[in-house]
């Protein structure tokens, strides 16, 4: 399942939507009848970050196994330079041409979200491109062309692309371990209306970027692997059977381990609900970027 939203007469209504093939999850729920007939097309849903294969995951765990907790850097000690690429289909905000003030606000949201982590984000540059194909890119050949043309910096530099990806998506990211083989694809793509003050309520407080950058720094979804196995490879995030939506306080889908981590930035809950990275996630991000991004 994915975070999904249908636009109804200009207002967004949350529904439990389409099963994402990428997650292999197969427990979609019926939509309320009134939401089956939107006045517009489906506007957006979840995160399309492609999971690493089992073999790739094992290689990552082996690579960071030697890093001990005492090596973790202090809060705020690792600067990440941000190169923002606005993809629009015209000059107005409604056509993806978000304002510099919105981008500044997004950077502030990131620095608040990551306040208890080693990471701070500094906007270095913003460029703007009008391209109708890139504007609706949700991956594939158009993504390759867009990133080949616009990407800046190296493994430790964060490239953010904002567009109107459609297909019910909020965004996607690449993992640190993928940089070596596909450096030009490295980065984060987010729905332009997910920025603070955007129209993608309840996902318009900037935490889509927080979530996707969590992947870029090495985190998996909290529901990865469900109730069994190593899950998200973070010990202090209780396992959960599937992604959570809205803000379902008290949800507990896996026996033991505590309640589902619905307030975690790496779940699928509303932006107003997600507000947490755990100490274990901080350690994992620190290890992953030290190993793969030279940060
Ligand atoms: Ca966990
Ligand atoms: Ca539990
Ligand atoms: Ca939040
Ligand atoms: Zn995600």
Q: Are 158 and 81 in contact (CB under 8 A)?
A: yes
pLDDT digits (tens, 9 = 90+) for 176-229: 999 999 999 999 999 999 999 999 999 999 999 999 999 999 999 999 999 999
How far away, in angstroms, is 247 Cα from ligand 3 center?
11
Q: What would the two tokens of residue 216 be?
A: 């870029």
Q: Which residues are catalytic?
A: 212
State the Cα–Cα distance between residues 283 and 66, nearest whole angstrom: 13
Q: Which residues of 137-166 are buried (b: 16+ CB within 10 A; e: fewer)?
A: bbeeebbeebbeebbbeeebbbbbbbbbbe
State the Cα–Cα distance between residues 165 and 193, nearest whole angstrom: 10
Residues with CB under 5 A from ligand 2 (ion): 252, 254, 257
User: Dihedrals φ, ψ of 4, to 5°?
Assistant: -145, 155
pLDDT digits (tens, 9 = 90+) for 110-161: 999 999 999 999 999 999 999 999 999 999 999 999 999 999 999 999 999 9
How far away, in angstroms, is 225 Cα from ligand 1 center?
9
Residues with CB under 5 A from ligand 4 (ion): 47, 49
How far away, in angstroms, is 172 Cα from ligand 4 center?
6
């Amino acid at each position: 399942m994915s975070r999904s939203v249908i636009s109804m007469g200009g207002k967004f209504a949350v529904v439990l939507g389409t099963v994402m093939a990428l997650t292999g999850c197969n427990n979609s729920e019926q939509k309320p009848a009134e939401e089956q007939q939107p006045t517009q097309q489906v506007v957006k849903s979840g995160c399309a970050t492609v999971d690493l294969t089992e073999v790739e995951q094992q290689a990552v765990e082996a690579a960071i196994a030697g890093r001990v907790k005492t090596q973790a850097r202090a809060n705020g000690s690792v600067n990440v330079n941000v190169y923002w690429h606005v993809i629009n289909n015209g000059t107005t905000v409604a056509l993806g041409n978000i304002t510099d003030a919105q981008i500044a606000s997004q950077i502030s949201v990131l620095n608040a979200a990551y306040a208890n982590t080693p990471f701070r984000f500094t906007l270095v540059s913003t460029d703007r491109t009008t391209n109708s194909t890139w504007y609706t890119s949700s991956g594939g050949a158009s993504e390759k062309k867009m990133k080949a043309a616009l990407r800046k910096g190296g493994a430790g530099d964060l490239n953010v692309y904002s567009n109107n990806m459609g297909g019910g998506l909020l965004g996607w990211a690449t993992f640190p371990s993928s940089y070596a083989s596909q450096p030009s694809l490295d980065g984060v793509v987010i729905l332009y209306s997910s920025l603070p003050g955007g129209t993608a309520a309840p996902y318009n407080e900037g935490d889509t970027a927080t979530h996707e950058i969590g992947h870029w720094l090495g985190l998996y979804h909290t529901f990865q692997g469900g109730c069994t196995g190593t899950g998200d490879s973070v010990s202090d995030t209780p396992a959960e059977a599937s992604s959570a939506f809205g803000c379902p306080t008290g949800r507990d889908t896996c026996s033991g381990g505590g309640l589902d981590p619905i307030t975690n930035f790496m779940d699928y809950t509303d932006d107003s609900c997600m507000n947490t990275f755990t100490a274990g996630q901080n350690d994992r991000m620190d290890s992953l970027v030290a190993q793969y991004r030279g940060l």
